[in-house]
Amino acid sequence: MKKTFLDYVLRVRLPITLFVALTSFTLTYFASRAERDGVGYTPDQPINFSHKLHAGDMKIDCQYCHTGVEKSRVAMVPPLETCMNCHRIARKDKPDIIKLTKYYNEGIALPWKRIHKVPDFVYFNHSVHVNKGIDCVNCHGDVKQMEKIGQMNSFTMSACLDCHRNALTRFPDLKNINQGPDNCFACHR
């Protein structure tokens, strides 16, 4: 009696349980994938700031606003002071600029929505990449053409590793570039 029950559990119940667990894991894994990767995420921002206009047409350097890229881990989104360098004068009668000026005068930072983000347990550093000559385009896409900015590339572990392992063939023109690290402690410190 006991033996046949165990037999039933092993032959019928266990495979079914495993099958259900595996299927639901696989389904949620792939269904939530885009969300975790963030690819395509292009939120509305409190002000319609256009990269195409400022970085593309007007050719303002990325570094003029993202002052951290060569110096630190983070690129940094510019404070309103940077915008006001021009918008104290430029287009100050437009609704978006009136709103901008109001935030500035009240000393409140604009609540820009963050787009690109790796989890806290991952160490990423802009300066080590940018100072080796890797252009923003490689990771963020053609920002100069973006009216509204969104995430173009995946920042998963395999995406990081794919570039790290193929860096020498991917950037034949960059002198002094090494292959990126693939040991766990480089990115998980």
Residues 124-183 that bind ligand HEC (CB under 6 A): 124-126, 128-130, 132, 134, 136, 138-140, 143-144, 149, 155-157, 160-161, 163-164, 167, 177-178, 180-182
CA angle (173 as vertex; 170, 178 as ends), nearest 5: 60
The stretch near ligand HEC (CB under 6 A) out of 1-9, 11-19, 20-28, 80-88 is 80-88
Q: Does 55 bind ligand HEC (CB under 6 A)?
A: yes
CA 171 to chain centre: 21
- Exposed/middle/buried for 75, CB within 10 Å: 0-12, 13-18, 19+? buried
With CB under 6 A as the rule, give the number of residues binding ligand HEC.
71
Taking the least distance from each CB to ligand HEC, the nearer of 7 and 142 is 142
Report the alpha-carbon distance of residue 98 to residue 55 in Å, rounded. Answer: 21
The one-letter code for the residue type at 75 is A
Residue of the chain from 23, 85, 105, 145 that contacts ligand HEC (CB under 6 A): 85
Minimal distance, residue 40 CB to ligand HEC, in Å: 13
What is the per-residue binding string for ligand HEC in 92-121, x denoting contact by CB under 6 A? Answer: --x-xx--x-----------x-xxxxxx--
The stretch near ligand HEC (CB under 6 A) out of 1-9, 10-18, 20-28, 73-81 is 73-81
Report the alpha-carbon distance of residue 75 to residue 52 in Å, rounded. Answer: 19
Sign for the CA dihedral angle at 168, 174, 177, 180 comes to negative
Minimal distance, residue 30 CB to ligand HEC, in Å: 13
Residue of the chain from 67, 78, 101, 103 that contacts ligand HEC (CB under 6 A): 78
Q: Does 39 bind ligand HEC (CB under 6 A)?
A: no
Sign for the CA dihedral angle at 156, 159, 162, 164 comes to negative
Encoded tokens for 127: 């300066």
Phi and psi at residue 75, in whole multiples of 5°?
-75, -40
